[in-house]
Amino acid sequence: MNESTLFLVTFILYIISAFFYLAFLFSKQPGQAKTGSALAIAGLAVHAIALIARTVESGHAPFTNMYESLSFLSWASVLAFVIIDKKFRISRIGPYIMLIVIGLVALASSPLMPKEVTPLVPALQSYWLWLHVSVTLLGEAFFAVAFITSIMYLTAKEPEKKEKLDSVSYRCVAVGFPLFTLGGLVFGMVWAYKAWGTYWSWDPKEVWSLITWVVFALYLHTRIVMGWKGKRSAIIAILGFLAALFTYFGVNYLLTGLHSYA
């Protein structure tokens, strides 16, 4: 099967997974959550093959334009969810994560996203592309899970559920933050120096990446040093993910700069 067919199979598996997770949300039957998880993992595997096929077809990393990066981000989000669910047994966040993933895949599949393989501009012809983008998107995937658990914390009523959601949010940020720091800032600055001769140029993408980093740094600082938990931490995590979304979508479509080609 070619990459587009694999991507379609992935999309179908994610949709069916979301259906079973939604059924679990209403029925509370563990078997439905297990089926949803199995389908999500199957989709993750097929999606990984699709990304590899895209890499082979294009001859470069599978995240050099919006179609490819949306595909990789959706894959990374499922991966982050599967890891967190296996560790903390929190299947009730499954429907919401899978719906976000389906939205990302649907957007990637839409006619708005050109899917043709095109040669890379010179600035992207670097192994730093692999390190910078992949690690950044993996960090953002964990932020996405923290975003869902933080919203669920704000709407939950039972103290036990709130405590678990708060704990999972913290652990997701604790994983996502070093990944985002390494990929988005450290690798990004090294690549910027090699490509443009400067570590920092106040490009809009750089500025909003820094804003995102500051918000999540504030989350960890207030939690670890000041002892904040619960509602205040949830609000900061939500704001951080919204900043990450603007960095990803808003900067690309509303602002121009050195990253405009991406």
Helix (H, G, I), strand (E, B) or coil at 154: helix
Q: Are 180 and 213 in contact (CB under 8 A)?
A: yes
Give the residues of the chain that fall short of pLDDT 70.
255-262
As given in the structure block, the two tokens for residue 151 are: 């919203």
pLDDT given for residue 261 in this prediction: 43
- Per-domain residue ranges for the chain? 1-119, 123-262
- Residue 5 makes CB contacts below 8 A (sequence gap 6+) with none
End-to-end Cα distance, the chain: 28
Closest CA to 121 of 209, 68, 60: 60
Specify whether the CB–CB gap between 208 and 259 falls below 8 A.
no
C-alpha–C-alpha distance, residues 132 and 190, integer Å: 9
State pTM to two decimals: 0.93
Residues 192-203 pLDDT 10s: 888 778 888 888
Burial class (CB in 10 A: 0-12, 13-18, 19+), 2: exposed
**DSSP H helices in 110-250:** 128-155, 159-180, 188-196, 204-224, 231-245
C-alpha to C-alpha distance for 79 and 41, rounded to whole angstroms: 8
What is the residue type of 12? I
The confidence score (pLDDT) of residue 163 equals: 95
What is the DSSP secondary structure assignment for residue 92, as one 8-state letter? Answer: G
Give the number of other CB atoms < 10 A from CB of residue 5. Answer: 12
| Predicted local distance difference test score (pLDDT) of residue 94 | 95
Taking alpha carbons only, the member of 156, 148, 179, 165 closest to residue 241 is 148
